Structure 1
Amino acid sequence: GKKVTQFRTGDFVACADVSCAHHADIVCVPDHLIVKIAQAHLKTASMTAIGASALQGVRRAQLSLGDTVAVFGLGLVGQLTAQLAKAAGCTVLVVDEHAERIARAKELGADYGYLVSQNTLQQEISLVTQHVGVDVSFITGASEKENVLLQQRAVDATRAQGKVVIIGQESCTIQRHEVQRKDIAVLLSPYTPGRLTCAAQYSRYGSCVSWSEQRTMQEFVRLLESEKLAVEPLITKEILFDQVPETQEHLKDPLALSTVISYQPDEQAQNSVEAQSGKGVACSDARSCEKNSLCRFVPAIKSKEQKIRVAIIGAGRFARLKLMPLLTDMPGISLNAIIDVDRTRALTLARVHGIDQVFASVDDFFAHEQGSVDAIIVASPYTLHADQVIKAVQHGKAVFAERPLITDPAQYERIKKMLDTYPQAPLCVGYTSAFSPFMQKIKKHIKERYTPLMISYRMNSSIVPQEFWIHADFSVGRVVGHACMIIDLFCYLTDAKPVSVSVEALHAAKEDIFPTDNFSVQLSFDDGSLCSLVYTALGHQELGKERMEVFFDGKSILMNNYRQLHGFGLPTLFNEVVTEPDKGHKAALQAFFDALRKPTFVAPVPFDRLKLVSELTLLIDKLVCSGGGAASFVPAKAAVERDSYGASSGAHKTEREREQY
């Protein structure tokens, strides 16, 4: 890409990260996970990612010259760890269940070797260390069963106030009693900082982490190329890529430390790279048809036999785990394109779901799709929704946008102008709670009520780390991102318009507790209904995430986490318990596609409600961020600039806190 400055075409490189560093003709890896290597060391440098994990584990131990260390588990990571510890000036003991692995480690510099199964292991190590124990034990076992035994042996072998470093393993089965008795420090070294972060987050890591993944990889390559490490003897077999299926049994052999796969030049792959150079398009399926009018909208499909061709913008976690499986299983729907800045992730999903077209940007998509898509699903980061919706509508596409529709007043003004310009635009926003079976049943029973509604809704959400992207911008906190859907639900159930709002936000001295994560909202509606929302990120997840209580006409309804629905004063058949919660995602999508098939599109979520919820959300967010307060709600006047705090807003926060939030 044009922003990559450290590398150029023709460089030999090693890369890391299992999510993108695949065995493939073409891979797309962030530049902070790539290092240059010499052509003479291509074979051994293929172990750079694994070697970096071993090097990070050794660095975590903070070894000193003259320390005695023991390496438990002599797979590839264990062998490299033993060599690195030896290079650091330590006496190295190795322990494994295979004598052949022990012999290989001793040939490459280890001082002592023992079988993990021998009864005298503890006695032997005690003698070597003059009855003190090793200073540091490294655990690098691969299988869970092997790890249980190795971890216990490692604790037994470590001296009082020593260290145990677990490399590359997520589970820890060490018995706490022995660790506490000997005051042993247990350190986990699953990966190097920067490896599992996006480029934006990586810049923050770089400011506080001296050894990033890239620097660790560079150091391993330096040791490799300066022959401080012997990696060639650890390669037990070299095969061609086409021979991989034939060598599965060899790969399962515990004595096979590593197998290197060699690739033959692929002329077709090279031509593919050249063809795509500068285009940003991995695959295109252009169809010759005229572009839709910018001002006139027609139903996407009139025949039920024809499929609605769909593109999805954004391939994040929600899109991958929720939206795409739903779209794939829906009859009459065809996923034709995917747009995501992470091309590797997009290509992987395209292969999984059989998607023909992959694009790296929205502009690229509209420049090349040529009428091959009828509807677009917007599932990108929150701050991008509004502009992507506007662009899709201007190109004559039907749009289903995940919530929220807007994140700030400027976006609201642009969306409002677009809706006024295109009043028949086929647009739906994913306020899915109102489409859930439980809410549909509740709506049916409260529709003919005599009294106003009293609704209490509690959202027990999980805490979000301070560095997470949702806190990086003032406009994408939990109010705008999550609470907007509950606000829409209140408007849907009451079928009334809000007239006033009162807000209180949690005030905490700790900087990791955000007011936009912990607040309460009370809404008054013009029919007399009163709705309250308590949103918190301080609770325990076993309590359940969502709970709603409804009171009306001498009756009560309890909805618990979309799994249980109970009515008091209602027919027994109203009660329902399900094993899998249904929050309305499928029903909302289906309502959108059904509306597209009709001669006249009727928005599943009326545009007036979209505007109302957007204005009310911005007002609540402003009050939460200013410490709380109360205000009358007048549509079209509520969406004010965030820095103009009204007199009714709470004056609980200091200027410093206001700047922070």
Structure 2
Amino acid sequence: MKQVVQSYKTGEVTLREVPVPQCGSKRILVRNSHSLISLGTERSTIELGRKSLLGKAASRPDLVRRAWDKAKKEGLLKTWQEAMGRLDTPTPLGYSSAGVVEQCGTAATEFSPGDRVACVGQGFASHAEFVSIPVNLAAQIPKGVTDDEAAFGMLGIIALHGVRSANLTFGSHVVVMGLGLLGLLTIQILRAYGCEVLAIDPALDKVELAKQLGFANVTTNAEDLLQISNHKTLGYGADAVIITAASKDRSLVDQSIKLCRTKGRIVIVGTADIHPDRNELWLKEIELVVSRAAGPGSLDPIYEIEGVDLPIGDVRWTQKRNLQEFLRLIADKKVDVLSLITHRFAIEEAESVYGQFVAGSLIQPIGVLLNYPETAHIARTMTLAPVQVMPRNVDKIQIGVIGAGLFGKALLLPALKSQTGVVLHTLVTGSGASVEHSARKFGFLNQSTDTDSVWGNSQLDAVIGLTPHSQHAQLVFSAIKMSKALFLEKPICVSVDELANLRESASEASSLPLVFVGHNRRFSPHAVQMQKWLADRQGPLVLQMRINTGFIPVSHWVHSEDEGRSRVVGEMSHFIDLIQCLAKASIVRVSAERISGDNRSAVNNDNIAISFKLSDGSVGSMIYSASGDKAYSREMIEIFFDEKTIVSKDFRVSEFHKGGKSESFKTSGQEMGYSQELMHFVNCVKGTESPVVSLNESFETMDVIFAIERALATATIITIGSK
């Protein structure tokens, strides 16, 4: 299918041929008929992308500070790679479209194939022939509303939420500053709800269009607007001012203060420099509000992605209910969007359109629609290079990769690409734009949004899974069922039930494929060196590990019960595996305590102390905290044994102390073992090495993780394997 994407790294806008996305259980697959170009939002996105690295840094100094703190802790090279990975991620443009439902997920029961729907949301309702839309970001189009009218949905609900943010009553006097598309929609919604509207825009053509829509109190002159306001409000001033324009200076807010009555409200829907005169605000006791997106639920992954609605008794106007209301206003002829359409283009013309748009050569654009053909096919696998069927041999293995998030693109895929004896056969991700870009970048032969193109392909020797945590257990089930080698980023699963089911599946298999969990730390040169220092150990060891992991808000996906489960489940198996690797023994007993905080400013389960006993008599402790300074050292290991001491800091410096003397092992940067673990996996698939960790040992590592969860919940000592 065709899709418009922008390179955030270069700012270039291109029309790409990409695979059609998967539907998903709580989504619908929609064949777009029309999508609306948001002139303001997309212009700012493109302009930021076109800036140099210094320009981007100047625009986002907060991200520069975070990157610098990360570089001090994890090394400049790794931080640079991750930053470039973020910049090199293609950005799908567009967030408002309409079309026909082609497929429905099993949980998307409110829709049926053939339904006409309006779609909204950045990254979802994109300029593409097919879009995969979460159920809370779509609404059925009522009779009497055409698809091109419904394609205005996102802009309509942004305007509608701005009106709601003004906290108005019937008969309120409202000034709208800016008569671009948002402003023209806003004045119509205000009129529909019984408000008296006054408006201003410096462009005469937009003022004339507003007058054609029946608005008399509109002008291009600020002084005239003030006179009109004084006349219409009997000198009291407007009840509210809604700013829908985009400006980099403070004049819009200053003018709004003059126009407002005492205890009035200023709502910023567009962009403006918010540095008002405090005394002016104080004198009138004016409330200043920045309207966020399209209503409650906006930018909330639980609402938008997981499809969990907000009860109408608690939240009357969510993002979706705003969309339904906007469509009703169109159906009832309260809002006219057809008069706002100034340009129509076929999707094939998209690159030319954006070129004209950025150059300023589009003549008086307001509503710019892209139109789509009805003939596009649902193709989820595409070939990037001539595919050669290669005979099996120990020198070359063919690999498929499922998933390519930030971590995969910044670290794992570059490390995989550098491996000798590997053919990158097929890359699969959920996004057509993402998979097309990453597949070309890393040299895959094929790209796909369908995992069957990997599991069902007899040419592939192995699969690498870089998907979200909630999908990991299914990848293991598929590997066992298809008897295909699997490299899986940790964790192997996210629940006790999943672990039990995996064990059962493994026990019933006639033969088990290689299932390798990516606990890369044991492959770090520092871990290898520590094992050498420990090789002649006679007695039990005492091990202390400290992880300064950095704060992640409780709303992040890693804490989601359905997705990440927790950082204990999602991250800690790294450290459990490393402890057992260094000790060459299994953890048999654990106890754990977490802080008793507010679970907001400090997430309780992210700040824990663990004690453990190992099968060889060794003991240890782990401090795992997300409350420290991110710029401070992330990981520290201390090992005491046989009158000797090992200290390792951040996989950059390791020291061995014995008899008052010390030996150091240093690397130029952080060496976390990514390349080494991939090399080991590749060699295991080839048959030239034997796996250092069995599938059963990976299961036992998760036993420890779930034991830690139980210990935290019960404040008791948990013996591994006990119920």
Tell me if 1:435 matches 2:523: yes
Conserved 8 A contact 1:520-1:535: yes
Q: Give the corresponding residue for 1:457.
A: 546
> CA 1:474–1:336 in structure 2 vs 1: closer, same or farther (change >3 Å)?
closer
Q: Give the corresponding residue for 1:36.
A: 140
> CA 1:608–1:28 in structure 2 vs 1: closer, same or farther (change >3 Å)?
closer
Equivalents in 2 of 1:612, 1:146: separation in Å?
Answer: 58
Equivalents in 2 of 1:261, 1:474: separation in Å?
Answer: 35
| Structure 2 counterpart of 1:85, from 172, 176, 190 | 190
Conserved 8 A contact 1:165-1:189: no
Higher RCO (Cα < 8 Å, 6 or more apart): 2
Tell me if 1:506 matches 2:595: yes
Map 1:97-136 → 2, pairs under 5 A: 97-113=202-218, 115=220, 129=233, 132-136=236-240
> CA 1:379–1:136 in structure 2 vs 1: closer, same or farther (change >3 Å)?
same
Stretches of structure 1 that go unaligned for 5 or more consecutive residues are: 291-299, 642-661
Q: Bigger CA drift: 509-518 or 131-140?
A: 509-518
Amino acid at match of 1:215: R
Q: Give the corresponding residue for 1:559.
A: 649
Equivalents in 1 of 2:151, 2:624: separation in Å?
Answer: 49
Per the TM alignment, residue 398 of structure 1 is displaced from its structure 2 partner at its CA by: 0.5
CA deviations on 1:225-256 (whole Å, 9 max, x unpaired) are 32212323322222333333444454243831
**SS at 2:582's partner residue?**
helix
Tell me if 1:150 matches 2:252: yes
Q: Give the corresponding residue for 1:396.
A: 483
Q: Bigger CA drift: 42-51 or 252-261?
A: 252-261
Map 1:41-440 → 2, pairs under 5 A: 41-113=146-218, 115=220, 129=233, 132-142=236-246, 145-146=247-248, 149-155=251-257, 157-167=259-269, 173-175=274-276, 177=278, 181=282, 182-194=285-297, 196=299, 197=301, 201-206=306-311, 208-248=314-354, 250-252=356-358, 253=360, 255-266=364-375, 269=376, 272-273=377-378, 302-304=393-395, 306-312=396-402, 314=403, 318-319=407-408, 323-324=412-413, 327=416, 332-337=421-426, 342=430, 345=431, 348-350=434-436, 352-354=438-440, 356=446, 358=448, 360=450, 366=455, 369-416=456-503, 425-440=513-528
Tell me if 1:593 matches 2:682: yes
Conserved 8 A contact 1:428-1:604: no
Q: Bigger CA drift: 124-133 or 37-46?
A: 124-133
**SS at 1:550's partner residue?**
strand
Q: Give the corresponding residue for 2:74.
A: none
Equivalents in 2 of 1:245, 1:114: separation in Å?
Answer: 35
Per the TM alignment, residue 438 of structure 1 is displaced from its structure 2 partner at its CA by: 4.7
Conserved 8 A contact 2:178-2:201: yes
Conserved 8 A contact 1:499-1:525: yes
Equivalents in 1 of 2:611, 2:550: separation in Å?
Answer: 19
> CA 1:604–1:96 in structure 2 vs 1: closer, same or farther (change >3 Å)?
farther
Q: Bigger CA drift: 211-220 or 348-357?
A: 348-357
Equivalents in 2 of 1:411, 1:393: separation in Å?
Answer: 14
**SS at 2:265's partner residue?**
strand
Q: Give the corresponding residue for 2:571.
A: 482
Q: Give the corresponding residue for 1:645.
A: none
**SS at 2:158's partner residue?**
helix
Per the TM alignment, residue 551 of structure 1 is displaced from its structure 2 partner at its CA by: 4.7
Equivalents in 1 of 2:215, 2:629: separation in Å?
Answer: 48
Per the TM alignment, residue 575 of structure 1 is displaced from its structure 2 partner at its CA by: 4.6
Per the TM alignment, residue 323 of structure 1 is displaced from its structure 2 partner at its CA by: 4.5
Conserved 8 A contact 1:14-1:46: yes
> CA 1:399–1:97 in structure 2 vs 1: closer, same or farther (change >3 Å)?
same
Amino acid at match of 1:349: V
> CA 1:186–1:25 in structure 2 vs 1: closer, same or farther (change >3 Å)?
closer
Tell me if 1:613 matches 2:613: no
**SS at 1:349's partner residue?**
helix
Per the TM alignment, residue 436 of structure 1 is displaced from its structure 2 partner at its CA by: 3.8
> CA 1:383–1:227 in structure 2 vs 1: closer, same or farther (change >3 Å)?
closer
Per the TM alignment, residue 587 of structure 1 is displaced from its structure 2 partner at its CA by: 3.6
Q: Give the corresponding residue for 2:33.
A: none
> CA 1:482–1:148 in structure 2 vs 1: closer, same or farther (change >3 Å)?
farther
> CA 1:565–1:152 in structure 2 vs 1: closer, same or farther (change >3 Å)?
farther
Equivalents in 2 of 1:224, 1:96: separation in Å?
Answer: 24
Q: Give the corresponding residue for 2:126.
A: 22
Conserved 8 A contact 2:401-2:466: no
Per the TM alignment, residue 428 of structure 1 is displaced from its structure 2 partner at its CA by: 0.9
Tell me if 1:550 matches 2:653: no
Count of aligned pairs between the two proteins: 598
Calculate the TM-score normalised by the size of structure 1: 0.76
CA deviations on 1:261-290 (whole Å, 9 max, x unpaired) are 334553xx2xx34xx7xxxx6569999999
Amino acid at match of 2:705: T
Equivalents in 1 of 2:279, 2:459: separation in Å?
Answer: 65
Q: Give the corresponding residue for 1:574.
A: 665
Per the TM alignment, residue 473 of structure 1 is displaced from its structure 2 partner at its CA by: 6.0
Tell me if 1:639 matches 2:708: no
Conserved 8 A contact 1:51-1:217: yes
Equivalents in 1 of 2:110, 2:589: separation in Å?
Answer: 56
> CA 1:11–1:582 in structure 2 vs 1: closer, same or farther (change >3 Å)?
same
Conserved 8 A contact 1:14-1:45: yes
Amino acid at match of 2:439: H
Equivalents in 2 of 1:61, 1:215: separation in Å?
Answer: 18
Q: Bigger CA drift: 128-137 or 230-239?
A: 128-137
| Structure 2 counterpart of 1:491, from 580, 597, 612 | 580
Stretches of structure 2 that go unaligned for 5 or more consecutive residues are: 1-102
Equivalents in 2 of 1:177, 1:159: separation in Å?
Answer: 16
**SS at 2:590's partner residue?**
strand
Amino acid at match of 1:222: R
Conserved 8 A contact 2:554-2:603: no
CA deviations on 1:133-182 (whole Å, 9 max, x unpaired) are 4322223334xx5365534544554444332323266x974458468733
Equivalents in 2 of 1:471, 1:229: separation in Å?
Answer: 40
Amino acid at match of 1:167: V
Conserved 8 A contact 2:533-2:656: no
Q: Bigger CA drift: 10-19 or 478-487?
A: 10-19
Conserved 8 A contact 1:51-1:80: yes
> CA 1:184–1:160 in structure 2 vs 1: closer, same or farther (change >3 Å)?
farther
**SS at 2:146's partner residue?**
helix
**SS at 1:203's partner residue?**
coil
Calculate the TM-score normalised by the size of structure 2: 0.71
**SS at 1:454's partner residue?**
strand
